[in-house]
A = this chain, B = another copy of it.
Amino acid sequence: MPRSSSSSSVKAGPVTLAMVASRAGVSPQTVSNAINSPDMLRPETLERVRRMIDEMGYRPSRAAQTLRTRSSKLIGYGIQPVPFSSPVLDRFLHALSHAADEAGYRILLFACPSGEPTLEGYEELLGQHEVDGFVLSGTERGDPRQAWLAKRGVPFVGFGRMWSGRQIGDWVDVDGASGTDAAVEHLVAQGHRKIAFLGWERGSSGAGDDRAEGWQRAMRRHGLSTRGRRGQSVNDIDAARAAVEPLLDAGATAVVAASDMLALGCYQTLRERGATPGRDIAVVGFDDSPTAALLSPALSSIAQPLEDVGRECVRLLLARIASPGTPPERLLLEPSLVVRDSTTTTRSAPTE
């Protein structure tokens, strides 16, 4: 259907409610009722107006519908500036956008400041556009967004649980601990006992601590010592290179990393020492970034089910919009270990 525009190149203007009313021989209010309150019309009138709407291709504009129904079919989503873009969140946004479209909703992007989550952008968006709700990502300790939105009765769903305080609202998260636990299981099955964990600094990230926890519990379950086996680094390749040194010095034969970036630091340190990742020391990453499959040797990594997360986020958000008063729903989805050469080509079965 053509769109209203001031351009002279437009062939025909849009079909308006008034035009439908005129052609159907009814008042504009009757056409409006046919769309919004069909029960108010006699069946034969409703039938006539509906037929005319179909024939003329009339579509009520979303802005007009928003004013009537208070539903914009828009979901707000904050996005950080380029240097802070995360491939995982970028892939999540694709999945979210497609899941929203299938439900008849659209994603409205707004720019967030870089770094820790803040309220910046949320208040402004609410003042300008009638979004029906928000999807939050990058949830962190002390995240102010959930309480702020809940207080205002704005529907939201988090990709990510609350990492501090009481849980507020609905969320979908990936069970990171289960992922690193599975990585340890896989390495133990390959004969490894001295399995180190290279993570982010303790307490700096809820997701990071969760990933460390999974490694630790699996090691305990197998009666393996974690003493001297935990390295800490910011999520930077050079910092990771330094942090993995003492783990290798202490005789680790395998390293589970909290991110593919940290695993790459591990690769580089191994090469500097004349060792071959995979052949001499097994390495597992986290997030299964596009890089993981392209490395040599290809990096085993824990993949988050981002399409499922996107679909569940939309499902929970629409349920929340429809029923503000129902109890919150929280979903912890299982990641999957993608096994590649970095954990299956170790030269000899390592021994304690």
Contact = CB atoms under 8 A, between A and B. Distances in A.
A10 interface: yes
Copies per complex of this chain: 2
Contact of A7 (B106, B237, B291, B324): B324
Interface stretch (A69-77, A158-166, A201-209, A214-222): A69-77
A9 interface: yes
A97 B70 contact: no
14 contacts: A2-B152, A5-B153, A5-B324, A6-B324, A7-B324, A79-B93, A80-B94, A81-B95, A85-B91, A97-B109, A97-B111, A107-B109, A291-B291, A295-B295
Interface of A: 1-11, 59, 61-64, 66-67, 70, 72-74, 79-82, 85, 87, 90-91, 93-95, 97-98, 100-102, 106-111, 121, 123, 125-130, 150-154, 237, 261, 264, 267-268, 271, 290-291, 294-296, 306-307, 324-325
Contacts of A5: 152-154, 324
A307 B101 contact: no
A90 B5 CA distance: 30
A294 B264 contact: yes
A87 to B, nearest CB: 7
A79 B97 contact: yes
A68 to B, nearest CB: 10
Closest 3 CB pairs between A and B? Answer: A7-B153, A5-B153, A101-B111
Given A81-B94, A126-B1, A130-B62, A108 B111 contact: no
B123 A1 contact: yes
A89 B101 CA distance: 20
A224 B340 CA distance: 42
A73 B267 CA distance: 47
Contacts of A61: 67, 128, 130
A349 B11 CA distance: 65
A183 B126 CA distance: 48
Residue with the highest number of chain B CB atoms closer than 10 Å, among A62, A95, A102, A290: A62
A63 B59 contact: no
A137 to B, nearest CB: 13
A64 B9 CA distance: 27
Given A87-B290, A268-B296, A106 B101 contact: no
B151 A74 contact: no
A72 B63 contact: yes
Given A1-B127, A5-B153, 5 more contacts: A9-B152, A9-B153, A59-B127, A74-B108, A98-B111
Contacts of A111: 97-98, 100-102
Given A3-B154, A291-B290, A62 B109 contact: no
Contacts of A130: 61-63
A98 B306 CA distance: 24
B237 A294 contact: yes
A127 to B, nearest CB: 5
